[in-house]
Structure 1
Amino acid sequence: MTEPDQTPPYTVVVGVSGTSKSPTALQWARAQAESHGGRLVAVRVYRVPNVPAGPSGTSSRVPPDPADLHAEQVVQLQRDVAEVLGEDHGVELRVVRGNKRRGLIDEARGADLLVIDAPRTPSMSPLLAHRIVYAAPCPVVVMPPSISGAPPSPLSRSAQAVGRAALRSAATSGRAGFRPPPSPLD
């Protein structure tokens, strides 16, 4: 007598940001899971905020209750996924407390694919995606801001402005009275 095939279903894990809601990553991950007849797992990793100490060494604020904070993150993840994929999305939701890199890597164990958004701001550790790629137990897809439609960061906008100014300066260098036509970006 032969036993039925016990292979686990194709699993796609997608990291869902609390700020951007990762709409492109969610949509792409769902399409990938559906194309393989698999399942989609949406993961939100959060940290308990630090309560700063006052001058006396103690805090005047009450630290948040970890259970309440976890429940709040679960509700927010449910809302974010429903907003992007619809109310009857059929996505498995997981909320993890801890470090973003470690949490996503742990949740991707046993998965066939991990999908994440590229960090949007330098404060989010620009090497997060890089570090996940090298430590992940499965292939990783990183949605760059140019694909996900995220607006350019202040750093990117500044770099573009400096580049345009340098090109303009080089173009007019040594040409008294020469003015290049204005670019549509100026």
Structure 2
Amino acid sequence: MEGSKPRIVVGVDGSGGSRAALRWALGYAEWCGGRVVAVFACGVPALIDVALMLPEEERVLTVGERELRKAVDETCAELDTGIPVERRVVRQDAVRALLDEARDSDLLVVGRRGHGRFAQVLLGSVSRHCVNHAPCPVVVVSGPG
């Protein structure tokens, strides 16, 4: 983005792959003077949506906030970096949340695999979808998964 610090969005779900993506994003932000936005998506099954179980929704968001805080705090401490990280917990599926955040971003960073159901897939469905549909460049980080 012209005239401002590059905005780097990274998907974080607490998995080893997402932590590798966060490490990469922080290192890149340090190199280019960018800012990092860590996104944790709390999508819930459609049946829960239909039932409109607000206490469940609040619980899911609280767990998401805790997991995101833990992943960001531990990764920043591990890297001993002072790069500020904006933390966003979004009540959407991971693909929609990341693509929405990527709209106004310079780069989207995702892990090769996260906590998805199909761990044997070499390039996870979220990362594949982001590569094919993101409105900005995408980096897929291969790391612990």
User: Which residue identity does 1:112 align to in structure 2?
Assistant: D
TM-score by length of structure 1 reads 0.62
Q: 1:96 aligns with which of 87, 90, 95?
A: 90
Whether 1:72 aligns to 2:63 is: yes
CA-based RMSD of the aligned residues comes to 2.8
CA distance in 2, matches of 1:48, 1:127: 17
Deviation at 1:42, TM superposition (A): 0.6
CA distance in 1, matches of 2:103, 2:21: 19
CA distance in 2, matches of 1:68, 1:108: 26
Taking a change above 3 Å as real, the CA distance of residues 118 and 21 of structure 1, as seen in their structure-2 partners, is closer
Whether 1:116 aligns to 2:110 is: yes
Deviation at 1:67, TM superposition (A): 2.1
**What does residue 4 of structure 2 align with?**
8
User: Which residue identity does 1:67 align to in structure 2?
Assistant: E
Deviation at 1:35, TM superposition (A): 1.1
**What does residue 47 of structure 1 align with?**
43
**What does residue 19 of structure 1 align with?**
15
Residue-by-residue CA offset, 1:40-72 (whole Å, 9 max, x unaligned): 1111112225679xxxxxxxxx88531232122
CA distance in 2, matches of 1:16, 1:141: 14
Identity %: 36
Structure 1: stretches of 5+ with no match in the other structure:
1-5, 53-61, 151-186
Taking a change above 3 Å as real, the CA distance of residues 22 and 49 of structure 1, as seen in their structure-2 partners, is same
**What does residue 149 of structure 1 align with?**
144
What is the number of equivalent residue pairs in this alignment?
A: 134
**What does residue 135 of structure 1 align with?**
133
CA distance in 2, matches of 1:24, 1:76: 15
CA distance in 1, matches of 2:141, 2:88: 20
Taking a change above 3 Å as real, the CA distance of residues 116 and 110 of structure 1, as seen in their structure-2 partners, is same
Larger Rg: 1
Instruction: Map 1:25-40 onto structure 2 (within 5 A).
Output: 25-40=21-36
TM-score by length of structure 2 reads 0.77
Taking a change above 3 Å as real, the CA distance of residues 50 and 130 of structure 1, as seen in their structure-2 partners, is closer
